């Protein structure tokens, strides 16, 4: 049977997405220093709601204000007061005005919290990130009681978002953030019930899923974002990921988004890691085509029936439809294209053949200094500067409703850095 991008997707909980395109979660940095959604955040998601996607995922909504992924994250780490509830409700209302779903991505940054936010972030073990420059602090191992408290916070955040009008929740267990790092034997060196075997390393995540389901009830969609692999030697491997997916399916998860990488090996973010990439069991065709994680997802679909979302690299309608028809994906996730072409889903369903690859034209290091890209550190900086260009497009959409495709990477880098400092200054005095 031919599957079209415009076909609906029925989820196990009974909810239905109106089509097969979802906006992937992208960090916005548009909340107040106290983590409250702003009118800029509303304007951004209203524009995306008008853009035709069947489901929008929010950026990181943190369960601990001392563990931000970046300054300007939304934070729900306690029962919402009137101001917070009103802001969340208004955000959800605008973000669903197109008849689409709007899901909250709930997260804890763990040891990937920047040191200007927290110099001693909590983590599974006291294993510091292998990145130079002092940007990340010395992690401290969570106690068992602190883990149990965080399980409750994930559930509180999901329930709060449900009450505000969000139509689903995604638990972030990818990219090296806290739940993801618990799954990794490289980052998790515990010897208690949360470390050692894969069953123990997955205990935290499975407890979060169970507590969230108990909080929101059987009809509310719950998703998990999971690494197919960390792509690091000694990290979370594909075989482990496949087993975790099977456990998640048994816990009544409605959708799993397949991703990969960590800050040390940023496979999804288009940046270069500072160590050799650990190859996983992936078909050579993955390297030749645009979708990063299609082969991983196809292998998972052979073992589980839970719907899968694949995000990363999709630019042509043909590749998206091939992924759907082959069974490698049930939902196509779009990220960076929607930072500039906000109605990309609508255009694709109306026949657009391909989305532009803006990142091909973006570089911090100019061509005449291109030899510097032979150095791993310079490659990494150049890659993260490109990411800042997309951050700045979201800022412009939130403020003015328009993008600035002609913005230079250098100017975007400076603007995002200055904004982060302003937010942190407001946070420290609030």
pLDDT level of residue 311 (50, 70, 90 thresholds)? confident
Q: What are the residue boundaries of the structural domains of the chain, listed by start?
A: 9-362
Least confident piece of the model among 78-82, 115-119, 190-194: 115-119
Number of neighbouring beta carbons within 10 Å of residue 353: 10
User: Percent of the chain having pLDDT more than 70?
Assistant: 83
Cα R_g (the chain), whole angstroms? 20
pLDDT in tens, 204-233: 999 999 999 999 999 999 999 998 765 656
> Global pTM?
0.89
Reply yes or no on whether the pLDDT at 352 is more than 70: yes
* Helix ranges (DSSP H) in 188-237: 198-201, 203-216
In the predicted structure, residue 376 carries a pLDDT above the cut 90? no
* Residue 308 binned pLDDT confidence (cut-offs 50, 70, 90): very high
Distance CA 294, CA 311 (A): 9
- pLDDT at position 361 over 90: no
What is the pLDDT averaged over residues 318-325? 91
pLDDT confidence of residue 33: 94
With b meaning 16 or more CB within 10 Å and e meaning fewer, what string describes 380-398? bbbbbbbbbbbbbbbbbbb
Using the predicted structure, report yes or no on whether residue 307 has a pLDDT greater than 80. Answer: yes
* pLDDT surpasses 50 at 269: no
Q: What is the mean pLDDT of residues 383-394?
A: 81
Of the ranges 17-21, 199-203, 338-342, 416-420, which one carries the lowest mean pLDDT score?
416-420
Q: How confident is the model at residue 288 (pLDDT cuts 50, 70, 90)?
A: very low
pLDDT for the residue 419? 84
pLDDT above 50 (res 9): yes
Residue-level pLDDT at 407: 84
Q: Are the CB atoms for 226 and 258 separated by under 8 Å?
A: yes
DSSP 361: G
Q: Under a CB-based contact definition with an 8 Å cutoff, are residues 117 and 65 in contact?
A: no
* Annotation: CATH topology of 9-362: TIM Barrel (3.20.20)
Which bin fits 370, alpha (ψ -120 to 50), beta or left (φ > 0)? alpha
Q: What would the mean pLDDT of 359-380 be, rounded to a whole number? A: 52
Whether residue 118 contacts residue 112, with contact meaning beta carbons closer than 8 Å, is answered with no
Given pLDDT bands bounded at 50, 70 and 90, which one contains residue 175?
A: confident
């Amino acid at each position: 049977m031919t599957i079209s991008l415009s076909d609906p997707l029925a989820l196990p909980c009974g909810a239905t997405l109106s089509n097969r395109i979802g906006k992937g979660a992208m960090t916005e940095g548009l909340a107040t220093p106290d983590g409250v959604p702003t009118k800029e955040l509303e304007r951004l998601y209203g524009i995306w709601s008008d853009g035709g996607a069947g489901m929008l995922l929010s950026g990181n909504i943190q369960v601990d204000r001392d563990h931000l992924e970046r300054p300007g994250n939304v934070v729900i780490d306690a029962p919402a007061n009137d101001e917070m509830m009103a802001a969340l409700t208004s955000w959800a209302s605008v973000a669903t005005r197109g008849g689409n779903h709007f899901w909250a991505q709930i997260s804890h940054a763990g040891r990937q919290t920047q040191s200007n936010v927290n110099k001693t972030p909590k983590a599974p073990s006291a294993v510091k990130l292998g990145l130079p420059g002092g940007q990340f602090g010395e992690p401290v191992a969570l106690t068992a009681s602190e883990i149990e408290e965080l399980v409750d916070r994930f559930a509180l955040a999901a329930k709060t978002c449900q009450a505000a009008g969000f139509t689903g929740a995604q638990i972030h267990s990818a990219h090296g953030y806290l739940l993801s790092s618990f799954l990794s034997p490289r980052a998790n060196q515990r010897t208690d019930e949360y470390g050692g075997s894969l069953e123990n390393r997955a205990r935290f995540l499975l407890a979060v899923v169970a507590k969230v389901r108990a909080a929101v009830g059987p009809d509310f969609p719950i998703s998990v974002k999971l690494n197919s692999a960390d792509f690091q030697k000694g990290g979370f491997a594909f075989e482990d990921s496949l087993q975790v997916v099977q456990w998640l399916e048994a816990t009544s998860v409605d959708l799993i988004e397949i991703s990969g990488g960590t800050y040390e090996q940023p496979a999804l973010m288009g940046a270069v890691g500072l160590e050799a990439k650990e190859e996983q069991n992936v078909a050579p065709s993955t390297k030749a085509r645009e979708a990063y994680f299609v082969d991983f997802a196809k292998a998972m679909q052979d073992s589980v029936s839970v719907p899968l979302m694949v995000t990363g690299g999709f630019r042509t309608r043909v590749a998206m439809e091939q992924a759907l028809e082959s069974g490698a994906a049930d939902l196509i996730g779009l990220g960076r294209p929607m930072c500039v072409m906000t109605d990309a889903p609508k255009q694709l369903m109306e026949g657009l053949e391909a989305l532009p690859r803006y990142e091909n034209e973006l570089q911090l290091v100019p061509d005449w200094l291109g030899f510097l890209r032979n150095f791993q550190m310079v490659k990494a900086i150049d890659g993260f500067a490109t990411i800042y260009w997309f951050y700045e497009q979201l800022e412009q959409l939130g403020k003015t409703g328009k993008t600035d495709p002609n913005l230079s990477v250098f100017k975007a880098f400076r603007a995002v850095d200055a904004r982060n400092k302003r937010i942190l200054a407001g946070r420290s005095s609030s």
